[in-house]
Amino acid sequence: MTAIENPTAAAAVAGEPRGSANPTRPIPKHRKLTWPRVAEAIAKHAVLIVLSVVFLMPLIWMVTGSFKTQADIGAFPVKWFPETITTGNYTYGLQAFPLLQYFWNTLVICVPSMIGAALSSAMVGYGVSRIRWPWRNGVFTILIATMMVPFYVTMVPLFVAYRDVGWTGTYLPLIVPTFFGIPFFIFLMRQFFLGIPDALTDAARIDGAGELRIFVQVILPLCKPALAAVMLFQFLASWSDLLGPLLYLTKSSQYTLSLGLTFFQGAQGDTATGPLMAVSTIILIPIVVLFFFAQKTFIQGITMSGIKD
């Protein structure tokens, strides 16, 4: 490391005492703790803790309920933790619920969908952020406005269209649309691209690179956090989707986890609450594990998408 890169070494070369490379630089002062600031911090953390507990209560109830007997689940007053821990709910649930088959069916939809959503949203986001063309902002505004149209408005026309082309009873209606861009993901990618300095793409254009090469070799390597966020969002959406499989899948052998769980609940009735909670807990585990390992990249992609130079 040179003296220019190390101010302390530069100060030593100049004959100044070590640690005084910039004597005029003000020493940062810590904010003094006062009772109003302490009270404000305590209030904020108290609110966050209360909200966290409220949001975690259904999850805690589901996990603990999977180890309870039916009597403990229906007991009043409510028993949050089982008096007698039982694993019979998991044994019965795994025997009555074809978990591996539904898990594979769900992956067949989730994996292509998240790849298609990431690629298409990145390409469209690049086109409306880095390429200059007439009416670019107007087209982007119309694209974002489509987010306000509920799915229930287009549900019947889409079903008729997919039925006419023979796609009902297959996974195609649940996968193919993701390859044509999703407005929210396009917005997310566009905001991320706007935070990339123009000097990078301008230098590539001067070197003779085309837009496709710039997109693949310059932009995509820089937007891995945003791509990870989009893929995780789409994976969660496809994993928990109930209405789409309910509309287009006609055979029980094609059911996804969410759809199969719904029919499992209807088949078992209200008396099989324990096995239902056990199967729900098992279905939740992959999502928790996925977010645990991808949370850093996911949060980075979300936060950096709001930054613009």
Residue 169 lies in a domain: yes
Which own/partner pairs from 191-194 qualify as long-range (CB within 8 Å, at least 24 positions apart)? 191/305, 191/306, 191/307, 191/308, 192/125, 192/223, 192/225, 192/226, 192/301, 192/304, 192/305, 193/125, 193/126, 193/129, 193/130, 193/219, 193/223, 194/129, 194/308, 194/309
Residue 295 lies in a domain: yes
Residue 80 lies in a domain: no
Residue 86 lies in a domain: no
Calculate ∠ Cα 138-173-113, nearest 5°. Answer: 75
How many folded domains does the chain comprise?
1
The CATH number assigned to the domain holding 142 equals 1.10.3720.10
Residue 34 lies in a domain: no
Q: Which residue has the tokens 């087209």?
A: 139
281: exposed, middle or buried (Cβ count in 10 Å: 0-12, 13-18, 19+): buried
Residue 26 lies in a domain: no
Token representation of residue 269 = 């009735």
Cβ atoms of 244 and 270 closer than 8 Å:
no
pLDDT (tens digit, 0 to 9) for every residue of the chain, 309 residues total?
Answer: 444 444 444 444 444 444 444 445 555 555 676 788 888 889 999 999 999 999 999 888 889 888 888 777 777 777 778 877 888 889 888 888 898 999 999 999 999 999 999 999 999 999 898 888 888 888 899 988 988 888 889 999 999 999 999 999 999 999 999 999 899 999 999 988 888 888 888 888 888 888 889 888 888 888 888 898 899 999 999 999 999 999 999 888 999 999 998 888 766 555 578 888 899 999 999 888 888 887 777 777 666 654 554
pTM: 0.78
Domain extent at residue 234: 92-304
**Backbone phi, then psi, for 27, in 5-degree steps?**
-80, 125
